[in-house]
A = this chain, B = another copy of it.
Amino acid sequence: MKKNTTTMSNIELDRKTERFIARCRANGLKVTPQRIAIYRGLVDTDEHPSAEMLHEKVKKVFPGISLDTVNRTLLTLSEIGAASVVEGSGDARRFDGDSEKHQHFKCVQCKRIVDFHHKAFDRIKVPVGIARRFTILSKSVYLEGICDLCRRR
- Determine whether the beta carbon of B104 is less than 8 Å from that of A95: no
CB distance from A148 to the nearest CB of B (A): 5
- Determine whether the beta carbon of B142 is less than 8 Å from that of A87: yes
A74 on the B face (CB < 8 A): yes
Compute how far the CA of A79 lies from the CA of B141 in the bound complex, rounded to whole angstroms.
Answer: 22
Compute how far the CA of A92 lies from the CA of B71 in the bound complex, rounded to whole angstroms.
Answer: 11
How many copies the complex holds: the figure is 2
CB distance from A109 to the nearest CB of B (A): 10
A95 with B105, Cβ < 8 A, contacts A127-B118, A141-B140 known: no
Q: A30-45 interface mask toward B, CB cutoff 8 Å, 1 = contact, 0 = none?
A: 0000000001001111
A50 CB contacts on chain B under 8 angstroms: 92-95
A148 CB contacts on chain B under 8 angstroms: 133-134
Q: How large is the interface on A (under 10, 10 to 19, 20 to 34, 35 or more residues)?
A: 35 or more
A127 with B116, Cβ < 8 A, contacts A48-B95, A90-B92, A93-B85 known: yes
A29 on the B face (CB < 8 A): no
Compute how far the CA of A129 lies from the CA of B105 in the bound complex, rounded to whole angstroms.
Answer: 12
Q: Taking A84-B95, A116-B127 as given, write out 15 further A-B residue pairs in contact, using a Cβ cutoff of 8 Å, ordered by the A residue number.
A: A42-B97, A43-B97, A48-B113, A83-B97, A84-B96, A85-B93, A86-B106, A88-B142, A133-B147, A135-B146, A137-B144, A138-B144, A138-B145, A139-B142, A141-B142
